[in-house]
Chains A and B, each alone.
Chain A
Amino acid sequence: MNSKKMQLNKNLTNNLITYGLVIAAFFVVQGMIWTGKSSSLMQGLLVPLCVYVILAVSLNLTVGILGELSLGHAGFMCVGAFASAFFSKCVQEAIPNSGLRFFLAILIGAAAAGLFGILIGIPVLRLKGDYLAIVTLAFGEIIKNIINVLYIGKDGNGFHFSMKDALSLHMESDGVLIINGAQGITGTPKDSSFIIGVALVLITLWIVLNIIHSRDGRAIMSIRDNRIAAESIGINITKYKLMAFSVSAALAGVAGVLYAHNLSTLTALPKNFGYNMSIMILVFVVLGGIGNIRGSVISAVILTLLPELLRGLNSYRMLIYAIVLIVMMLFNWSPKCIEFRERYSLKRLLKNRNHNKKEAE
């Protein structure tokens, strides 16, 4: 009983540190903005930072907790982004209140991405390991390509839809193109702000951390650790897998909403929604530590800031970024490095000192 309480307390402190970290960072940055000490570059980066943190945390739920390798995370982000931008563009006049509109857009983005998560999850989660990675990768590419040939317009008669080109929509003269194929959606209202972003990060953390420390979370982790053993004690594997996968997808959708409402143009390029992006998010998760939520937050922030802070280096920027990535990966995961870190870790040094002190006494 006592040990359970201890365990609970430890979890609670751990979670509080994670929340505290985000809140502290928020106040530091807000303080800098209020006192006018932050640069335009910093201010412009705040919302993207929130987007990447949400993406990294949500992918960690699939990769770290469920233990399945998903390479289609950018696809879910894409679904969320386009669904919500489409909604915002349609109701821009009907709902002039940007707060309410954005709130609805977030719900719609999350729901659309979550729905796709379930649809993809049902067949795909029967696969394991590499196969799942390949199928999710393909899913991401399919989403991107479909959106690139999608034309949707609106006029007095309602919505028009085509997968060929803008001309075959046959719209009335008052018609507006909403999704214009490869040009995507332009003129999305800029509703994202840093405060909303941080709130969404906190909500994401709250959802993910609560799942992890709940009964469901333990069931999910038992599937990760040993599927057969979990099945033998009566855990519904499909249900829990699907749950983790769709929650992760829905949260990626939320990140997409934030992304779409931060820029006035939304196009499904290989750069922002292709597999490069999925792998980028995976890099955040792996560098931060698989299954370590706080690590994901920190690594997402560092790796997003790094290329921007290196702008002073001109053409060497991307080279240095790549080298830092390799060095960090080695530092984090090479067995020799882990050994080295354990030997010279601060914690251990402190412990040793205390130990020596005690002995001296």
Chain B
Amino acid sequence: MKKFNKIFGVVLASCMTLSLLAGCGGDNNTKENQSGESQNTGSQDDTQNADNQTAGGEGVFKIGGIGPITGNNAVYGQAVQNAMQIAIDEINEAGGVNGYTFEMNFQDDESDPEKSVNAYNNLKDWGMQLLVGTVTSGPCVAVAAETNTDNMFQLTPSGSSVECVEHPNAFRVCFSDPNQGFGAAKYIGENSLGNKVAIIYDSSSIYSSGIYTKFTEEAANQNFEIVSAEAFTADNATDFSVQLQKAKDAGADLVFLPIYYTEASLILTQANQMGYEPTFVGCDGLDGILAVENFDLALAEDVILLTPFAADATDDLTVSFVTKYQEKHGDIPNQFAADAYDAVYIVKAAIEKSGATPDMSVSDLCEAIKGAMTEISVNGLTGEAITWTEDGEPNKAPRAVVIKDGAYVAM
């Protein structure tokens, strides 16, 4: 009996801990999950008839999304998930596309190619007809091979490596890595921002090394000189004094940072401590630097970013999106969110153009939308009159902003 009591006690205690944990998670996530949950109850009803891929005869386009909502890159996946939900709600409220509504299901891939393919298969079971994803490059390449086999239309909001859109069924919203490197080199050259350029990049990141390679290639054609190129890896991304010292010793007056904002904020702080004050130029990965905690915004003064999206732009579209995002999720949307928001509207435009209907098979739908993609022109958050070529690359003008008094100012 004593033993029974003991076991009973343990079970009760674990139940209580569990409910406590569940409670905690709930509080933090209610905001994020409201949309997630409502969409999930919908999806459960639909799993029954998910076997036939053309399910959705009720006039619903089933859009799948894949991205990391747990793990290291969770920020990006969550931003994409939230923004997609906002766009889809907007479209559905406004009466849908040609009278059909959108339904969304977003799956976690932890930014891992293997998990991403699992998520894709899971979405296929749900009856997905179009894929908006995946968020990160590595998984995107793996999933693109699968969508190509199934001939499913894929539009990645932020998968920037070249191979992401190598198949004819895949398109993207963001610039490709080489494109960014090329654009950055050209921008620096044409605006004579510096004569001696140092680069600090992350050799373990596909994004960063992709930009770096193309940047150095293009730099040969420009009127500046690369005096140092120093790499770091994700495993030692805390101390940059060596790289900065080398840049300083080489007399660089401009430091190019094709990296993400977390490391960039450290670089800016450490450069300030060294008393080194070159011009810093970054790509869209630097977007988010103003939101870093415990970071002195004065250090980011005059940093130049080549980003397609600035959350404090004053055009109506951006203002309405940022307000909605803030109301629903409490923080300022980053460039990933903007890409995802655009992605949904691009899909809408392509469906309208092609006159596709939800009762078409996945493959027919893909052919129809693929054809329409090269004909449409979309005004979005990340660019005006964006058009696509058959190779899946977007055609839009790069935008540059400079940070003044803790805010982006267009250049």
Contact = CB atoms under 8 A, between A and B. Distances in A.
B112 A271 contact: yes
Contacts of A141: 235
B233 A145 contact: yes
A143 to B, nearest CB: 13
Contacts of A314: 33, 36-37, 40
B36 A182 contact: no
Given A145-B233, A181-B209, A308-B118, A269 B25 contact: no
A270 B73 CA distance: 13
B25 A183 contact: no
B221 interface: no
Nearest to A165: B213
A40 interface: yes
Contact of A263 (B32, B142, B231): B142
A39 interface: yes
A182 B206 contact: yes
B64 to A, nearest CB: 12
A354 interface: no
Contacts of B112: 269, 271-272
B333 to A, nearest CB: 19
Interface string B337-362: 00000000000000000000000000
A259 B29 CA distance: 35
Contacts of A262: 114
A148 B125 contact: no
B70 A272 contact: no
Given A148-B233, A187-B163, A44 B113 contact: no
B298 interface: no
A315 B161 CA distance: 28
Interface size class of A (residues with CB under 8 A): 35 or more
Given A183-B209, A271-B111, A311-B107, A44 B118 contact: yes
Contacts of B29: 315
A97 B392 CA distance: 31
Interface in A164-215: 165-167, 181-183, 186-187, 190
Interface string A30-61: 00000000011101110010000000000000
B94 interface: no
B145 A264 contact: yes
A172 to B, nearest CB: 16
B138 interface: yes
A318 B70 contact: yes
Interface size class of B (residues with CB under 8 A): 35 or more
B69 interface: yes
B84 to A, nearest CB: 15
A309 to B, nearest CB: 10
Interface string B115-143: 00111111011000000000000100110
A186 B212 contact: no
Interface in B57-79: 69-71
Contacts of A182: 203-206, 209
B234 A165 contact: no
A267 interface: yes
B217 interface: yes
Given A269-B138, A270-B234, A316-B22, A263 B117 contact: yes
A154 interface: no
B21 interface: yes
B393 interface: no
B231 to A, nearest CB: 8
A48 B44 CA distance: 26
A312 B32 CA distance: 16
Contacts of A311: 107-108, 119, 122
A317 B108 contact: yes
Contacts of B124: 40-41
B56 interface: no
A45 to B, nearest CB: 6
Nearest to B28: A315
A267 B163 contact: no
Contacts of B141: 186, 264-265
Given A183-B210, A265-B142, A149 B114 contact: no
Interface in A228-277: 259, 262-265, 267, 269-272
Contacts of A317: 70, 108
B23 to A, nearest CB: 12
Contact of A315 (B25, B163, B209, B212): B25
B25 A267 contact: no
A88 to B, nearest CB: 14
Contacts of A45: 118, 121
Interface string B135-171: 0001001101100000000000000010100000000
Nearest to A148: B204
Nearest to A48: B114
B18 interface: yes
Given A265-B113, A269-B112, A41 B163 contact: no
Interface string A44-80: 1100100000000000000000000000000000000
Contact of A312 (B33, B40, B121, B213): B40
B269 interface: no
Q: Which of A182, A311, A327 has the most CB of B within 10 A?
A: A182
Interface of A: 39-41, 43-45, 48, 141, 145, 148-149, 165-167, 181-183, 186-187, 190, 259, 262-265, 267, 269-272, 308, 311-312, 314-319, 323, 327, 340
30 contacts: A39-B122, A40-B124, A41-B118, A41-B124, A41-B125, A43-B121, A44-B120, A44-B121, A45-B118, A141-B235, A145-B233, A165-B212, A167-B213, A181-B203, A181-B209, A183-B209, A186-B141, A187-B163, A259-B114, A264-B144, A265-B145, A265-B163, A271-B110, A271-B112, A311-B108, A311-B119, A311-B122, A315-B33, A317-B70, A319-B21
Given A145-B233, A166-B213, 6 more contacts: A41-B118, A186-B141, A264-B141, A269-B112, A308-B122, A314-B33
Query: Sorted from nearest, which 7 A-B pairs have the closest CB atoms?
Result: A264-B145, A44-B121, A40-B121, A265-B141, A40-B124, A41-B121, A39-B125
